Amino acid sequence: MAFYRASYVSARFIINSLNYNMRNLKWIFLILTLTIVACSTSKITTSWKAKDIPVKKYNKILVLALINDKDRRIRERMEQHFVGDLTNLGYTAISALQEYGPKAFDSLAEKAALEKIKNSGVEAVVTIVLLDKQKKDVYIAPQVYSKGFGAYYENRQNSIFEPGYYVSDTKYLWESNFYDMSNDSLLYSVQTKSFSPKNIESMGHEYGQKIVKSMRREKILQKQIAQDD
């Protein structure tokens, strides 16, 4: 009888331990999920691709960011990171800002701009357009956490005289298109929102990776043969 009682106790202990560990695993998984989501500041909202896109090797891709001169720094980083992500796939990619300068296409008509690009050996163009940029200040109120009323009352009274603080919340709305220059056709278009990125560097890095990954998933781009795993 003692043996069965001991076995029962051991079984209950194991079951309770498993339940406890499962609950911990659920919390750990939830925390990891929230951390991953929190680290991602860019989100694809809509995308479109043409039908019957042939598998094609592009020998040279131009990355062209259409952004106001006042945001020149943003343009530089967005183009450079996108070029880097394409290069990692084995493509030859160039930044329009570095290749042609900031004013290269301002005075050119559409036909002249296309000829300028094609004469550079460019076979495809990726555009990055900043459609909208919204910045606002968000007020963060003092936080009070307490289980007892007395402690809560005292803490809340103190918080009334302790001012909160403001943080800047900036939202960017982007659009990228992929054009095949052999017939000047649009093959892919995607819109993305970036929410309060840590800095321009991280925004450019995340945006380039996200859009290139999407284009690979949609079979717009594939790894070049020489770079295949």
d(CA 156, CA 161): 9
Cβ(100)–Cβ(122) below 8 Å: no
pLDDT value of residue 9: 45
pLDDT value of residue 28: 45
Q: Which residue from 60, 118, 137 is spatially nearest to 91, judged by alpha carbons?
A: 60
Higher pLDDT, 204 or 228: 204
pLDDT in tens, 5-57: 444 444 454 445 544 444 444 444 444 444 444 455 778 999 999 998 877 88
pLDDT in tens, 177-212: 999 998 889 999 999 998 877 788 888 989 999 999
- Tell me the whole-structure pTM to 2 decimals: 0.68
Higher pLDDT, 45 or 139: 45
Arithmetic mean of pLDDT, 47-76: 89
Arithmetic mean of pLDDT, 77-94: 93
Bridge partners, residue 61, by sequence: 93, 124
Q: What is the mean pLDDT of the chain?
A: 75
